[in-house]
Chains A and B, each alone.
Chain A
Amino acid sequence: MQADVFIRRRNNAVVFFAILVVLTAGSIVITQYDLQKGFTSFIKAFIWGASNFYPDAGSLRKLPDILVKLWETVLMSIAATTVAAIFSMFLAVFGSRTTRIHVSFTVIARGIGSFFRNMPLVAWAMILMLAFSQSSLTGFLALFLGSLGFLTRAFMETIDEVGENAVEALTSTGAAYFPVIFQAVLPASMPQIVSWLLFMVETNIRDATLVGLLTGTGIGFLFDVYYKSFDYHVASLVVIVIVIAVLIVETVSNGVRRVIL
């Protein structure tokens, strides 16, 4: 503590950068990432994109098809989020340290949350494909399972944070468990929870593309079809449509957040 702060700072910086350099060099070797190729192809990609990757008049004829798939994808993302939220809510209320009945519930809820959060989406997509094949259900279920993990953790942390004062205030008046939950905890954490819900919808629309690519459903599949057949004009139109959808959802969510938070 009393050591010269400048020497300490310099040593910290040197160690920090040394570790960074070693890890970077190691990663480059391990992944066989070609720095030079990476750089040149970055530029090449831009030139290629500017000259090929834009929608032309012909691709606009595909727009109705694309919009149908987009609509499907948005619906699926919202449904997956909402259904997952219902399950997550139960897990979170029983698992949060302010509202749990017993410590073991926290361990269980955390475990379930952690499992579903860390289980790769890709694995779910592939596992579900086996039984549900190329249907929207596959995409829905994959997104549902991923959201379940994320939301459980997010809700639990919210209730941990927000619930404490609310619970204390009501419990001290002698209120019972369920009244406390419904009159204090849920209302107090609702703005934050809605904010997480909106965030999850945004994330799911983006992730739906990946899941769609892997399972042959929704808008991801559509992109894949045109991409693999080198029809880059239509593929770029798909990307633009996704971007617009995500930006709209983001804008709406930000608007709602401004009002509720």
Chain B
Amino acid sequence: MALLELKNVTKHYNGIAPALDDVSFSVNEGEFVSIIGSSGSGKTTLLRCINRMVEATSGEIAFGGIVVSRLGKMELRQVRTKIGMIFQQFNLVDRMSVIENVLHGRLGHKSTLAGVLGIYTREERWQALRIIQMLGLDQQVYQRCDQLSGGQKQRVGIARALVQNPKLILCDEPIASLDPSSAKTIMDHLRSICTELGVTLIISLHQVDVALKYTDRIIGLNRGIVVFDGPPGELTSQRSAEIYAKEPKDVNIDLGERNAS
């Protein structure tokens, strides 16, 4: 059964061209899906529409059989607790320690007062520590996040998402601000989260090779339109050129050059 289902999702900001144009696809439980496309093609918008950080203009998004688009505030928060999110700029509270940032993932499960005062149960803290350990951050548990390297910060971001016990994790270009070796560590962790913990992941990337190497399925976006949806094996260089084409005719020029050489 599909965990996530998008039907004819369209998003208009103010401009004339839509940021998302009639996007439909579904994602099964346990899949690791990457979304690729050039900058401005709508990757961020797509991910944010799923947990309604951005409101889609039209279309329907269902998560676990619940139509997200029609939920009230309280129910939406309920759904969000089951969807983790990881960001390019990590988005941590820099002045707080690693463990506190990780535990922020539990806020949605707590009463307002307990959350406001930062009171967490023994189980929550134990779980947070276990996840931190799993991601290899045991030396940094009590360090402030502004003292960490980029790769370490992103692992805190992953831990914050994992401590939610999410069914789905949305990753918006998680390795775009990292050096190659940290990027590899992060991708390896994400892969094993999918394989070993059975969490579904949707990740936006701008490196096609990373998408090919790590993910089960690739969705290509070009100016808000899904132009490719299939396993890595089907992504030929021509299909890839289509995804990154500025104008439809660019594809031909690209191919022409390739043929000439």
Contacts and interface: CB of A to CB of B under 8 A. Distances in A.
A, B assembled together: yes
Interface of A: 1-3, 5-6, 9
A1 B125 CA distance: 18
Contacts of A2: 142
A244 to B, nearest CB: 37
Interface SS of B by simple majority: mixed
11 contacts: A1-B142, A2-B142, A3-B142, A5-B97, A5-B99, A5-B100, A5-B142, A6-B118, A6-B120, A6-B125, A9-B118
**Which of B99, B100, B120, B142 counts the most chain A CB atoms within 10 A?**
B142
Nearest to A2: B142
A1 B143 CA distance: 8
Contacts of B99: 5
A234 B125 CA distance: 64
Contacts of B100: 5
A3 B97 CA distance: 12
A5 B128 CA distance: 14
Interface string B97-113: 10110000000000000
A6 B100 CA distance: 8
A214 B118 CA distance: 51
A6 B126 CA distance: 13
A3 B141 CA distance: 11
Contacts of A9: 118
Contacts of B142: 1-3, 5
Interface in B82-133: 97, 99-100, 118, 120, 125
A2 to B, nearest CB: 6
Q: Which of A2, A3, A5 has the most CB of B within 10 A?
A: A5
Given A5-B99, A6-B118, A6-B120, 8 more contacts: A1-B142, A2-B142, A3-B142, A5-B97, A5-B100, A5-B142, A6-B125, A9-B118
Contacts of A6: 118, 120, 125
Nearest to B103: A6
